[in-house]
Amino acid sequence: MKDPQRLFDATDSSTRAMLEAARADGPSPRTHRGAAIALGLGSLGVASGTVASSAAAATVGAGAAAATAPVAGGAALAAGTAVKWVGIAALVGAASWGAAEVATRPTPTTPTHAAAPLNAPTVATGSPRMATTRLPSPAPDPAPTDVAPSPLAAPQPLAAPPPPPVAPRPPPSRRTASAATPPLDLAPPSPRAPAPAAPRAASTLVAETAKLEAARAALQTNDPTRALTALDDYGSAFPRGVLAPEATVLRVEALARRGGAADRAAAQRLGEAFLREHPASPLCERVRILVSQTSIP
Amino acid sequence: MGPVGAPEHMKPGVAAEMPFEPDVAGLLTQAERPMDQGSRADLRTMFEENYAFIWRILRRFGVAPQNVDDSAQQVFLVAARKIDVVDRAKARSFLLGTALRVAAEARRAGARAREEVREDLDLVASAAPNPEQLTEKKRALERFDALLDEMPFELRAVFVLYEVEGMSTHDIAPALGLPRGTVASRLRRAREEFDGLAKRAKARAASGLHREGRAS
């Protein structure tokens, strides 16, 4: 069976421009890096991966931010802040918000979504050619299979004495990190994005992330009271923090985890308020689960 | 290449519109599992090779811009949890299948939310930078996404994978859990649909510009 000619090669200039733009689209390096950190892969640095290889990411950085414009407004509304995002400075802020959300996502240890059913992933029957798809191939990446010859080997214990797969959160002083891991702020200042807003947003972001990280770490060691203290700390340091939604979810979790009747009631109230205020947030699923747990005595 | 042949538990299924069944019980226990070094390295490779790809297709599949980062992460969280059972040679296919479901879920959630904030969004839209401030490329991408938004999801998915990501129908079929013939016919329909939508949009834009010109 022969595939038809790609539209790209046989179309008018307007459609070609759209396809071209779509092919060049992608996450900003900052987002990419934030996701790596949240997955516990932070230390490796998205260095070779994004920053170096994808010209697309570099130039699209600004593009992505701007393309997000109208919807950034949506996010703001959803978050209950009636801010009207006008102008590009706002866009830059919006972009870092996105990255921030990722960076502080409570990590692999607490997936917002329970995974899909086991049989859900569809299976490619003999298509190593998948790899031929265009992607910003990170330079010297070994094939996955070189790394782990046997995916089914090494069953893991369910108990978890060693620390969970969370990346050690880089301290705020990450600017001094090694050359291999470009600091967050180095997300290529794209030619079109005015710089002023970016550095401030980034440094605030790092500070906010660090505080929330303290709360998350406390939760992880099953110390909800300390987590709540850390969250109070966050709340007073950043009364209008961009990570407020994540802070709220952590608070719901901490209250639910501590488990007194008053705590559970508070968790439920807070969680329900969150669901009302952020109906589209991907955190909702997690909040729903937490809330449903609080109603079980 | 690595092991060939699908692990037994991974059976081809309908990828696109399958709803999530949150595994509430497993959420806390399994999530706390530590990951060994080999698995971590595999996850890292999967992530580096596919993150941009997954991010991009989520956006093109209709996940709202402000949710793409989160959805992309969701995909890799699923991969992290299943790292022990994912066939490394088919990692991309696995991620793609997961992304389809995450996208379908995010779109449903987004649709519900949109109903509630539609008015406000309109306000925001009018406050957005005017067209001169957007580069040609950004505008092209916005136009493209607007067209995709009008396509049925199953056509859209095939269209994006083939026309934007440059995948072959041979590769798309297993990733979507569809026979190759179905992929080919959906692609055909998708292209017709896209063509029609593009023509109509062009006509609308032309008349809009015309009106605007007269008004000013």
- Is residue B13 in some structural domain? no
- Contact residues for B180 (Cβ-Cβ < 8 A; gap 6+): A1, B169, B170, B173
Question: Residue A32: is its pLDDT beyond 80?
Answer: yes
pLDDT at residue A203 in the model: 64
Which CATH number covers residue B168?
Answer: 1.10.10.10
Say whether B73 and A24 touch across the interface (CB within 8 A): no
pLDDT at residue B6 in the model: 43
Structure confidence by residue, pLDDT tens digits, A91-132: 233 333 333 343 444 444 333 343 333 333 333 333 333 333
Mean pLDDT of the region B160-189 = 94
Domain locations in chain A as residue ranges: 13-112+174-294
Question: Residue B95: is its pLDDT beyond 80?
Answer: yes
Structure confidence by residue, pLDDT tens digits, B21-54: 333 333 333 344 567 788 888 888 899 899 999 9
Spatial separation of the C-alpha atoms in residues A122 and B92, rounded to whole Å: 11
pLDDT at residue B159 in the model: 96
pLDDT at residue A295 in the model: 66
Which chain A residues touch B188 with a CB distance below 8 Å? 4
* Torsion sign, CA atoms A86, A88, A90, A91: positive
pLDDT at residue A163 in the model: 44
Residues B102 and B148 in one domain: no
Residues B43 and B91 in one domain: yes
pLDDT at residue A251 in the model: 92
For residues A30 and A189, the answer to whether their CB atoms sit within 8 Å is: no
For residues A212 and A104, the answer to whether their CB atoms sit within 8 Å is: yes
Mean pLDDT of the region A77-87 = 29
The residue out of B96, B113, B128 marking a domain boundary is B128
Residues B40 and B98 in one domain: yes
**Which of A1, A105, A283 lies nearest to residue B169, judging by beta carbons?**
A1
Domain range enclosing B185: 131-216
Lowest mean pLDDT segment, chosen from A5-14, B34-43, B111-120: B111-120
pLDDT at residue B116 in the model: 57
Mean pLDDT of the region A242-266 = 86
- Is residue B92 in some structural domain? yes
Which chain B residues touch A276 with a CB distance below 8 Å? none
- Is residue B20 in some structural domain? no
HSE on the CB side for A35, CA within 13 Å?
Answer: 32
Residues B51 and B113 in one domain: yes
Say whether A124 and B175 touch across the interface (CB within 8 A): yes
Residue A111 DSSP class: -
Domains of chain B: total: 2
d(CA B16, nearest CA chain A) in Å: 10
pLDDT at residue A43 in the model: 47
- Is residue B5 in some structural domain? no
Greater model confidence, A187 or B66: B66
d(CA A295, nearest CA chain B) in Å: 15
Q: What confidence tier does A138 reach under pLDDT thresholds 50, 70, 90?
A: very low
* A177-191, A277-291, B153-167: range with highest mean pLDDT: B153-167
d(CA A13, nearest CA chain B) in Å: 11
Q: What confidence tier does B102 reach under pLDDT thresholds 50, 70, 90?
A: very high
The residue out of B128, B155, B190 marking a domain boundary is B128
- Is residue B54 in some structural domain? yes
**Which of B56, B138, B166 lies nearest to residue A67, judging by beta carbons?**
B138
The residue out of B100, B128, B156 marking a domain boundary is B128
Residues B122 and B135 in one domain: no
Chain A residue with CA closest to B12: the answer is A122
- Is residue B26 in some structural domain? no
Lowest mean pLDDT segment, chosen from A190-199, A234-243, B55-64: A190-199
| Whole-Å CA distances, A90 to A72, A86, A93, A269, B78 | 9, 6, 5, 32, 32
pLDDT at residue A218 in the model: 86
At A102, give phi and psi (nearest 5°): -70, -45
HSE on the CB side for B169, CA within 13 Å?
Answer: 18
Which of B9, B59, B73 to mutate to probe the A interface, most A CBs <10 Å? B73
Residues B167 and B121 in one domain: no
Beta carbon pairs, A and B, within 8 Å: 415
**Which of B15, B128, B166 lies nearest to residue A134, judging by beta carbons?**
B166
**Which of A20, A84, A160 lies nearest to residue B124, judging by beta carbons?**
A84
pLDDT at residue B114 in the model: 60
Spatial separation of the C-alpha atoms in residues A231 and B124, rounded to whole Å: 31
Residues B139 and B70 in one domain: no
* A178-192, A254-268, B182-196: range with highest mean pLDDT: B182-196
Q: What confidence tier does B209 reach under pLDDT thresholds 50, 70, 90?
A: low
**Residue bearing tokens 């079980």:** A296
Question: Residue A222: is its pLDDT beyond 60?
Answer: yes
What average pLDDT does the structure give for chain A?
59
Say whether A123 and B40 touch across the interface (CB within 8 A): no
Structure confidence by residue, pLDDT tens digits, B131-172: 554 678 888 999 999 999 999 999 999 999 999 999 999 999
Residues B137 and B216 in one domain: yes
* Three-class SS of chain B: CCCCCCCCCCCCCCCCCCCCCCCHHHHHHHHHCCCCHHHHHHHHHHHHHHHHHHHHHHHHCCCCHHHHHHHHHHHHHHHHHCCCCCCHHHHHHHHHHHHHHHHHHHHHHHHHHHHHHHHHHHHHHHHCCCHHHCCHHHHHHHHHHHHHHCCCHHHHHHHHHHHHCCCCHHHHHHHHCCCHHHHHHHHHHHHHHHHHHHHHHHHHHHHHHHHHHHHC
- Is residue B44 in some structural domain? yes
- Is residue B204 in some structural domain? yes
Which chain A residues touch B97 with a CB distance below 8 Å? 120-122
Say whether A35 and B175 touch across the interface (CB within 8 A): no
**Residue bearing tokens 């802020």:** A93
**Which of B18, B46, B64 lies nearest to residue A71, judging by beta carbons?**
B64
Residues B43 and B81 in one domain: yes
Which CATH number covers residue B64?
Answer: 1.10.1740
Query: What does chain B come to in residues?
Result: 216
Which chain B residues touch A88 with a CB distance below 8 Å? 129, 133
Which of B51, B60, B139 to mutate to probe the A interface, most A CBs <10 Å? B51
Structure confidence by residue, pLDDT tens digits, A157-167: 444 344 444 44
